[in-house]
Structure 1
């Protein structure tokens, strides 16, 4: 049961990253017409996404930490590494990069840095989800 809940949390985390970053925010900029207004909405969406990342990441860390304590195997430690990497990207993006973007401070530097961090977070959660799904597949 706990493994299924963890799988659902990983799917929710990756799915929300995909939806916000690759669907909703681009639509905001395409449909609103005013980049400043779209940017403010996007910032609020990314902040909400950061809270989703923190919640899902912490719960998944607790889950995989317990699994690593039960049996020190590679998959649990790899999952912990992926979760920590994704959480680090989410926290750095929210508290180090996003304030600079919202202040319009050197956008040519900070926007690509934030985009890269978001993409790394998306990759980490995608790999985590893929590995968790593969572990549940009957052989």
Structure 2
């Protein structure tokens, strides 16, 4: 059973962090460069960011359960435990706070595109906050990958 939990643990880290990096730094830029319609690219990218957000929350919950089942309350003394917690909180803030706010700004701008409306500045600020949060998550994810074996001790 121990080998299975290790395999699941490493799979979840790979899925979550790999997804973060693939969507944020490969897929989204290609969408904006290739589609020719920035609004459509934004909608598709938004759906992909929401998908990796849900994957992240499920992965974080599972990773924390694995760590707790292996180490009990001592898991809280492990730095990687807290990296997963912080990443999960960032994911939740983005998924339940920032992304819905940006969707609402787009809806409020209709029939114009948000970047052509009076809401442009607010959207740009929230997009910037979202991008910084995503970058921080990605860097914490890299740390999680590099030190992942320590989370099982």
TM-score normalised to structure 1 length: 0.87
Q: Name 1:124's counterpart in structure 2.
A: 140
Partner Cα separation in structure 1 for residue 49 and residue 21 of structure 2? 12
Q: Name 1:24's counterpart in structure 2.
A: 27
Pairing 1:67–2:91 present: no
Following TM superposition, by how much is the alpha carbon of 1:128 offset from its aligned partner in structure 2, in angstroms? 1.3
Following TM superposition, by how much is the alpha carbon of 1:11 offset from its aligned partner in structure 2, in angstroms? 1.3
Q: Name 1:9's counterpart in structure 2.
A: 12
Following TM superposition, by how much is the alpha carbon of 1:120 offset from its aligned partner in structure 2, in angstroms? 1.4
Structure 1 residues 109 and 135: alpha-carbon distance in aligned structure 2, compared to 1, 3 A threshold: closer
Q: Name 1:111's counterpart in structure 2.
A: 127
Following TM superposition, by how much is the alpha carbon of 1:45 offset from its aligned partner in structure 2, in angstroms? 0.6
Partner Cα separation in structure 2 for residue 73 and residue 88 of structure 1? 18
Query: Does the CA contact (< 8 Å) of 1:82 and 1:124 recur in 2?
Result: yes
Which string of whole-angstrom CA distances, capped at 9 and with x for unpartnered residues, describes residues 5-44 of structure 1? 2012111111010110001111110011111111111111
Q: Name 1:83's counterpart in structure 2.
A: 84
TM-score normalised to structure 2 length: 0.79
Query: Does the CA contact (< 8 Å) of 2:80 and 2:151 recur in 1?
Result: no
Ranges of 4+ aligned residues in structure 1 off by more than 3 Å: 133-136
Following TM superposition, by how much is the alpha carbon of 1:4 offset from its aligned partner in structure 2, in angstroms? 2.6
Please, which moves more after superposition, 18-27 or 115-124?
A: 115-124
Q: Cα RMSD (Å) of the superposition?
A: 2.0
